[in-house]
């Protein structure tokens, strides 16, 4: 089984959850990274080409309504992974808060 990074949520709660860099931003980051890892798992399970596997993470900064999130996006060896949640070269992530609340 391939190694995956565990989502990081800080032990100490911030002063308020709605501050920039507060608890809600950490939860959004953990949820987005978990979804991206799930997309990578699905991509690699349906791969017919031999030799393709995980190859670390790339850093990406996206802008949401509440501020910026620094995400770790998984990569594969053949560079054939195209994430659907946050597409390549996409820097804005509108509507993410509403999607999370609706779930």
Question: Per residue in 42-61, pLDDT tens?
Answer: 999 876 667 888 999 999 99
Q: Which residue has the higher pLDDT, 94 or 11?
A: 94
> How far apart (Å, rounded) are the C-alpha atoms in residues 66 and 75?
27
Mean pLDDT, residues 59-65 taken together: 91
pLDDT exceeds cutoff 60 at 1: no
> How far apart (Å, rounded) are the C-alpha atoms in residues 54 and 93?
25
Whole-angstrom Cα Rg for the chain: 15
Handedness of CA 50, 55, 59, 64 (dihedral sign): positive
Domain positions in the chain are: 23-44+52-97
State percent of the chain over pLDDT 90: 34
Q: What is the pLDDT of residue 10?
A: 61
The most distant pair of C-alpha atoms in the chain lies apart, rounded to whole Å, by: 49
Global pTM?
0.76
């Amino acid at each position: 089984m391939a190694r995956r990074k565990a989502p990081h949520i800080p032990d100490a709660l911030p002063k308020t959850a709605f501050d920039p860099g507060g608890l809600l931003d950490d939860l959004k980051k953990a949820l987005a990274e978990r979804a991206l890892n799930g997309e990578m798992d699905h991509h690699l399970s349906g791969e017919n080409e031999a030799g393709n596997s995980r190859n670390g993470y790339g850093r990406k900064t996206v802008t949401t309504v509440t501020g910026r999130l620094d995400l770790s996006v998984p990569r594969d060896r053949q560079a054939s992974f195209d994430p659907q949640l946050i597409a390549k070269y996409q820097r804005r992530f509108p509507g993410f808060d509403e999607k999370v609340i609706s779930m």
